[in-house]
Amino acid sequence: DRFILIYCPSRSKRYCNIHRGKWFVFISIIIVFIANGHILYGYEKIYLNDKQLNQFYDCNIREENIFYKKLFHFYDSYIESIFLILIPFSIMFICSLLIIFQIIQTRKTIHYNKKGKFYYYTFYSRETIPPTFRKTLKEQKKIKLRDKDIQLCWMLIGTTLTFLILCLPTEINDIFNYTGRERSCFDWFRKVILMLM
C-alpha cells in the first residue's frame, strides 16, 4: 500500500481502497484455508486404550500413514517457511528499501499535504518573501522534513524486522522437528522456548 502510494500516487486510489482491501483479505483467508486444509484429511481421531490417562482419544497422524507423515513434516517445515515467511519478508524488505530510497531522492521537491491524499509541488516566489523570513521558513521546513523522514524510515525498518522476529521462532522449531529424530530433554526445552517466543 505504501509502495504504490509512493511510486504510483495517481493510481493509489484505484488499487489502495477499502473495497479492494476486503477482497485481498478474503482471498488471503481462502488461500490460507486451502494451504492448511490437508490437516482435515491427514489427522484422524485415534482411540487410546490406556486407563491410566483420562483421555481416550488423540488427534494425530496414524503410524501406518507414512506418506502423509513425511509430507506433513516437509510441508510444515519448508513450504510454509518459504511461502509464509521468506517471500513476505523479502517483499516487505525490498519495498521498504525502495520507499526509503524514493523519499530521500524526492523529499527536496515533493511535499505531502496534511490530509495525506495526494502529492503536490510547492513553489515559493523569492520576490514576495523577505530574505530573513525565507531563511527561517526554509530551516524550519528542513528540520520538520528530516524528522518525518527519520520517523518513516524507522517505522518501515521496524515493521519488517518485527514481522521476522515474531514469525521466525515457530518456523525454526518446525525445521528442528523435521530434522531431529530423537527427543532429548534439550530438544523439548528448546521447543518450549521457541514456542513461547
Quick: pLDDT tens for 142-174.
666 667 777 877 888 888 888 888 887 877 777
Average of per-residue pLDDT across 37-55: 69
pLDDT band at 115 (very low <50, low <70, confident <90, very high): very low
Pairing of strands 57-60, 44-47: antiparallel
Number of domains in the chain: 1
> In angstroms, rounded to a whole number, what is the distance separating the alpha carbons of residues 112 and 115?
8
Rounded to 5 degrees, φ, ψ at 47 are -80, 130
Residue 41 has pLDDT above 60, yes or no: yes
Q: Taking the model in full, what pTM does it have?
A: 0.59
> In angstroms, rounded to a whole number, what is the distance separating the alpha carbons of residues 160 and 163?
5
> In angstroms, rounded to a whole number, what is the distance separating the alpha carbons of residues 25 and 42?
27
In a domain, 33, yes or no: no
In a domain, 4, yes or no: no
In a domain, 1, yes or no: no
Average of per-residue pLDDT across 183-192: 68
Please answer whether residues 177 and 70 qualify as being in contact, where contact means their C-beta atoms are separated by less than 8 angstroms: no
- Average pLDDT over all residues of the chain: 72
In a domain, 103, yes or no: yes
In a domain, 42, yes or no: no
pLDDT band at 26 (very low <50, low <70, confident <90, very high): very high
**Looking at 73-77, 88-92, 130-134, which range is the least confident one?**
130-134
60/98: higher pLDDT: 98
In a domain, 22, yes or no: no
> In angstroms, rounded to a whole number, what is the distance separating the alpha carbons of residues 46 and 48?
6
Q: Can you give the pLDDT at residue 87?
A: 87
In a domain, 45, yes or no: no
Quick: pLDDT tens for 138-148.
666 666 666 77
Q: Can you give the pLDDT at residue 145?
A: 63
Considering Cα of 32, then 34, then 37, then 38, what sign does the dihedral take?
negative
In a domain, 109, yes or no: yes
